[in-house]
C-alpha cells in the first residue's frame, strides 16, 4: 500500500533514566580535620510518560523517532549537594492510544483523555548519600547507596479512534458520501470499491450545539476476517464506538443478507462488537419510490433502520435524530463508562507484520554504565 500519513501502529524503544548514586564524602576543611559525612543524594532518573493530546490524530510523529530515552539522575556530591534529577520524556499521543509490550503482547495502559498522563517506565530512584547513614555507633559511614537502575522495553502503540458512531459497510456503499454530508470532513468519494484506504473522522453537529463523532472506515467484504480485501485491520477503529451504523445500499440484492455477512465478519474479529447498538441506514434511497421502500422494509433485520440519500438529503435529519436518540438511550453506556469498562485484550503478536529490527543505538547518556556492578561502588569514597 502506498506510504500514508495515517499511522495507527508504531513500535518504539523506551528507556527511563537511572538514579544517580549517593555520595560517600567526608567534610574536609583546613581547621575541621574530622568533619562528618557530607555526601549528597543522587538525583532520580527521569520517567517515560505517555500523555494524551487531542491535537494529534495519528502516531505518525513517532514513526521516525523510535528510540525514546529519559535522562539519568546525576550523582550526589560533597557538601550535601544532591544530584540533579533526570528529565522525564513525555510522549504525546492521540486520545485512544493503547500501549502493549512488544515482546509478549501484554496490555500495558490506555490513554483516552486529553492531558491524561501514564508513567510507562519509571525512572530509577537516586541513592542516598552517606550523610543519611550516620548512627550513634557509626559516625563515619564510608558507604552510600547506588541509584536504582533504569527500565527499558520495546512497546507497541496502537491507535483506536474514539468516535461515537462507526460506519460499517461493503465497499462502495456510500459511507464516505454520508460522512461528507453530515460533517465537514472531506473524504475521497468515487464509484469504485476501496476508495477509502484509511479511516476518516467527522464531527456531526446536532441541534443546540450538540455534536457527536463519526468514523468512516474502509469497506469490508465477505472473507475479510481471512484477510480478503483490506482485511479487518481497520476494525479496531470501531471497537470503541458506542454505536455501529451499518450502511447498505438500496440496490443491494438482499439487504438482510448483506447485514448478516457484515455482522459475521465483525464477530470473527471481536465478538464484543455484537453487544453494541446497531442501526441500519439504507443508502442511495433516491433510487427507490415509496412502494419499493415499503416492500423492502418488510424484510429487514430487527434493528432500527432509516432510508437515506446523501445526494438528495432524504432521511438525513431522521438519521441524525435516530443516532442521537440511540447514543443517549439507556442501553448505551456513556462513553466514559464504556471506556473504563472496556475489556483489554492482549495483542496477538502473530498477526503483526513488524520487521524485527530491534537494534538500539547507544544512548550517549548511559555510557557510564556502572550500575550494580558489585559492592565496591557501595563503599566508594568520593574525594
Ligand atoms: N444515487 C446515489 N449515489 C450515492 C449516494 N451516496 C453515495 N453514492 C455514490 O456511491 C459511490 C460510492 O460512494 P462512497 O461514499 O465513496 O462509498 P464508500 O462506502 O465510502 O466506499 P469505499 O470507500 O470504497 O468503502 C459514489 O459514486 C457515490 O457518488 C446516494 O445517496 N445516492
Ligand atoms: Mg469510502
**Average pLDDT over every residue of 46-67:** 87
Q: Where are the domains of the chain?
A: 1-159+353-383, 165-342
Residue 191 has pLDDT above 50, yes or no: yes
Per-residue pLDDT tens over the stretch 232-264: 777 877 777 789 999 999 999 999 999 999 999
Cell 485484550 belongs to which residue? 345
Sequence-distant (≥ 6) Cβ neighbours of residue 345 within 8 angstroms: 107, 270
Residue at grid coordinates 461515537 = 164
Segments of 38-137 assigned E as strands: 48-52, 67-69, 89-93, 97-101, 107-111, 117-121
> Which of 23-37, 106-120, 329-343 reaches the highest mean pLDDT?
106-120
- 29 forms beta bridges with 32
Residue 63 has pLDDT above 90, yes or no: no
> Looking at the predicted structure, is the pLDDT value of residue 90 above 90?
yes
**1-159+353-383 against 165-342: fold identical:** no
For residue 189, the ligand 1 atom closest to its alpha carbon is 16
Q: Whose CA is nearest to atom 14 of ligand 1?
A: 174
Q: Whose CA is nearest to atom 24 of ligand 1?
A: 194
Which residue minimizes the CA distance to atom 23 of ligand 1? Answer: 196
pLDDT at residue 245, as a whole number: 95
Question: Which of 167, 169, 170, 172 is the best mutation target for the ligand 1 pocket, counting ligand atoms within 8 Å of the beta carbon and taking the most?
Answer: 172
Tell me the per-residue pLDDT of 152-170, one tens digit each, with 9 for 90 and over.
999 999 888 777 899 999 9
Domain over 1-159+353-383 is classified CATH 2.70.210.12: yes
What global pTM score does this model have?
Answer: 0.67
Ligand 1 atom at shortest distance from the alpha carbon of 188: 16
pLDDT score, position 206: 81
Name the grid cell of 198: 484509511
CATH superfamily for 165-342 is P-loop containing nucleotide triphosphate hydrolases (3.40.50.300)
pLDDT of 312 reads 95
Query: Is the Cα dihedral 333, 262, 57, 98 positive or negative?
Result: positive
Q: Would you state the pLDDT for residue 155?
A: 92
Run of H or E residues at 169: strand 165-169
What's the pLDDT at 32?
67
Q: Which ligand is nearest to the CA of 282?
A: 1
- Label residue 374 left, alpha or beta by phi (over 0 means left) and psi (-120 to 50 means alpha): left
Higher pLDDT, 30 or 380: 30
Of all protein residues, whose CA lies closest to atom 30 belonging to ligand 1? 284
Whether residue 314 is predicted with pLDDT greater than 90 in this model: the reply is yes
Expressed in angstroms and rounded, the spacing between residue 327 Cα and the centre of ligand 1 is 25
- Least distant ligand from the CA of 247: 1
Amino acid at each position: 500500500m502506498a506510504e500514508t500519513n495515517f499511522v495507527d501502529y508504531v513500535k518504539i524503544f523506551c528507556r527511563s533514566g537511572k538514579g544517580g548514586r549517593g555520595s560517600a564524602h567526608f567534610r574536609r576543611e583546613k581547621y575541621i580535620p574530622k568533619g562528618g559525612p557530607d555526601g549528597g543524594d543522587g538525583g532520580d532518573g527521569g520517567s517515560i510518560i505517555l500523555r494524551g493530546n487531542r491535537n494529534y490524530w495519528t502516531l505518525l510523529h513517532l514513526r521516525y523517532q523510535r528510540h525514546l530515552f529519559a535522562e539519568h539522575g546525576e550523582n550526589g556530591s560533597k557538601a550535601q549537594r544532591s544530584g540533579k534529577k533526570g528529565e522525564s520524556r513525555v510522549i504525546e499521543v492521540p486520545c485512544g492510544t493503547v500501549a502493549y509490550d512488544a515482546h509478549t503482547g501484554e496490555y500495558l495502559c490506555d490513554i483516552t483523555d486529553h492531558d491524561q498522563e501514564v508513567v510507562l517506565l519509571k525512572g530509577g530512584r537516586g541513592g542516598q548519600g552517606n550523610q543519611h547513614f550516620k548512627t550513634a555507633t557509626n559516625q563515619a559511614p564510608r558507604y552510600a547507596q547506588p541509584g536504582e537502575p533504569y527500565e527499558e522495553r520495546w512497546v507497541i502503540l496502537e491507535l483506536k479512534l474514539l468516535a461515537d458512531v462507526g460506519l460499517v459497510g461493503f465497499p462502495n456503499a456510500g459511507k464516505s458520501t454520508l460522512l461528507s454530508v453530515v460533517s465537514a470532513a472531506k473524504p475521497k468519494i468515487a464509484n469504485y470499491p476501496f476508495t477509502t484506504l484509511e479511516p476518516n473522522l467527522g464531527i456531526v453537529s446536532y441541534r443546540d450545539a450538540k455534536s457527536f463523532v463519526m468514523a468512516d472506515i474502509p469497506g469490508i467484504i465477505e472473507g475479510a476476517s481471512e484477510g480478503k480485501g483490506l482485511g479487518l485491520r481497520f476494525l479496531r477503529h470501531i471497537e470503541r464506538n458506542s454505536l455501529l451504523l451499518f450502511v447498505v445500499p438500496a440496490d443491494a440484492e438482499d439487504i438482510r443478507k448483506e447485514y448478516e455477512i457484515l455482522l459475521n465478519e465483525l464477530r470473527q474479529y471481536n465478538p464484543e462488537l455484537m453487544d453494541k447498538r446497531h442501526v441500519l441506514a439504507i443508502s442511495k434511497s433516491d433510487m427507490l419510490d415509496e412502494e419499493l421502500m415499503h416492500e423492502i422494509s418488510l424484510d429487514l433485520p430487527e434493528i432500527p433502520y432509516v432510508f437515506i440519500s446523501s445526494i438528495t438529503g432524504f432521511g438525513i435529519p431522521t438519521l441524525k435524530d435516530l443516532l442521537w436518540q440511540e447514543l443517549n438511550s439507556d442501553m448505551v453506556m456513556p462513553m466514559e463508562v464504556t471506556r473504563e469498562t472496556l475489556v483489554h485484550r492482549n495483542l496477538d503478536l502473530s498477526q503483526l507484520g513488524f520487521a524485527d529490527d530491534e537494534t538500539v543505538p547507544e544512548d550517549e547518556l548511559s555510557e557510564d554504565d556502572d550500575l550494580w556492578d558489585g559492592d565496591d561502588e557501595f563503599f566508594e569514597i568520593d574525594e
